[in-house]
Amino acid sequence: MPLYEYKCSDCETCFDALRAMSDADVPIACPKCGSGNTRRMISLFSAVGSEGVIAGASCGSCTPSASCATCGLRSSG
């Protein structure tokens, strides 16, 4: 089951929820205020390998041998 990120429009709380893909856009209650006025956020990911960032988002200054001070990615090499 995928992990989705949501944001409450009433209290601005961001939270994650494991949900079936078919339920991804079905309203979900905010865990802080209980409001159903929530929306799914766009989630970004990165995969870092020996070649540097191999999938997802990168700030462009990442290297395979060091942590990136700009975006916070850490190299596995």
Q: Where are the beta strands (DSSP E) in the chain?
A: 3-8, 14-18, 38-40, 46-49, 52-56
Residues 12 and 36 in one domain: yes
Residue 19, pLDDT > 60, answer: yes
Residue-level pLDDT at 16? 94
| 51 and 24, same domain (yes or no) | no
Would you give the distance in Å from CA 56 to the centre of its chain?
11
33 and 9 in one domain?
Answer: yes
Give the pLDDT confidence of 52-64 residue by residue, as tens digits.
666 555 455 555 5
Q: Left (φ > 0), alpha (ψ -120 to 50) or beta: where does 56 sit?
A: left
- Tally of structural domains, the chain: 2
Q: Are β-strands 3-8 and 38-40 bridged in parallel, bridged antiparallel, or unpaired?
A: antiparallel
Q: Which of the four pLDDT bands, split at 50, 70 and 90, describes residue 76?
A: very low
47 residue type, one letter: A
